[in-house]
C-alpha cells in the first residue's frame, strides 16, 4: 500500500477579474488581448466585465469583488482596462483623475491586487502605440502588475 505524502497542497488557479471600458472598441480589444494573453500564460482563470467608460470601471470592480465574497469565491486580483483620449474640454482631466483615484481607493482600502491598464493619452496614435501586441501593450503590463501584486499579497500572508 502506497503512503500518502502530506505537506504539499495543490493550489487553486488564480482567479482574476478583468473590467474593461469599451468606449474605444478597437483599443479595448487590443488591451484585452494583451491582458488575457498574460493571464493565459500564467494559468489564471478570469472573468470579464465590460462597462461603457473609464469612470464606470471602479464601481464595477467594487460591485464584482463583493459579489463572489458572498459565494466564498473571491478574486485574487483585478485588471482595469480602458482608454481616455484628450479632447478640447476639461472632461479628460476629470475622467482620468477620477478613474485613477477610484482605482487607488479600491486598491488601498480593500488591499486589492490591482493592475491599472487605463490609458490616458493625448491622441489615438498614442493609444494605439500602447495597445498593440508588442511589448508596449499596457493591457499586458496591467495583467503582469496584478499577478505581481497577488504574489506579493500571498507572500506577505505566508501563503
As annotated, the active-site residues are: 91
Interatomic CA distance for residues 155 and 116, integer angstroms: 21
Q: Which three cell numbers stand for residue 147?
A: 499577478
Three-state secondary structure string covering 2-63: CCCCCCCCCCCCCEEEEEEECCCHHHHHHHHHHHHHHHHHHCCEEEEEEECCHHHHHHHHHH
Nearest to 86 by CA among 123, 131, 55, 126: 123
Nearest to 119 by CA among 149, 146, 104, 141: 141
Interatomic CA distance for residues 13 and 16, integer angstroms: 9
Amino acid at each position: 500500500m502506497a503512503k500518502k505524502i502530506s505537506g504539499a497542497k495543490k493550489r487553486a488557479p488564480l482567479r482574476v477579474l478583468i473590467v474593461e471600458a469599451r468606449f474605444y472598441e478597437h483599443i479595448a480589444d487590443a488591451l484585452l488581448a494583451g491582458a488575457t494573453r498574460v493571464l493565459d500564460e500564467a494559468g489564471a482563470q478570469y472573468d470579464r466585465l465590460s462597462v461603457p467608460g473609464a469612470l464606470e470601471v471602479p464601481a464595477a470592480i467594487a460591485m464584482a469583488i463583493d459579489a463572489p465574497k458572498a459565494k466564498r469565491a473571491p478574486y485574487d486580483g483585478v485588471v482595469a482596462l480602458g482608454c481616455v483620449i484628450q479632447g478640447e474640454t476639461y472632461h479628460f482631466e476629470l475622467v482620468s483623475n477620477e478613474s485613477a483615484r477610484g482605482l487607488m481607493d479600491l486598491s488601498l482600502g480593500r488591499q486589492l491586487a490591482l493592475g491599472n491598464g487605463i490609458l490616458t493619452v493625448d491622441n489615438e496614435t498614442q493609444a494605439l502605440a500602447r495597445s498593440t501586441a508588442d511589448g508596449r501593450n499596457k493591457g499586458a503590463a496591467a495583467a503582469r502588475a496584478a499577478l505581481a501584486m497577488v504574489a506579493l499579497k500571498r507572500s506577505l500572508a505566508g501563503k
